Amino acid sequence: MTVSIVSPSAAAVKPRRHPRFRREDIPAPEIDPVLKAFGRHIARSFHRGVVYTSPP
């Protein structure tokens, strides 16, 4: 039995930008402080080069 590995063409795996949902701005006082802190945590970590992935 011969095993061969078949890989897709480069065009098939070309990365694409995900479409961004356009939403209205939320007034700052309405944003939960815990959520704001989490956003700042992610922004600082991203700036330092830490990569977050979603859980499986």
pLDDT of residue 45: 86
Distance between CA atoms of 52 and 10, rounded to whole angstroms?
Answer: 26
pLDDT of residue 12: 73
- The beta strand positions in 1-56, using DSSP E, are none
Tens digit of each residue's pLDDT (9 = 90 or more) over 4-55: 888 877 777 778 888 888 989 989 899 999 999 998 998 888 888 776 666 6
pLDDT of residue 54: 62
* pTM, full prediction: 0.44
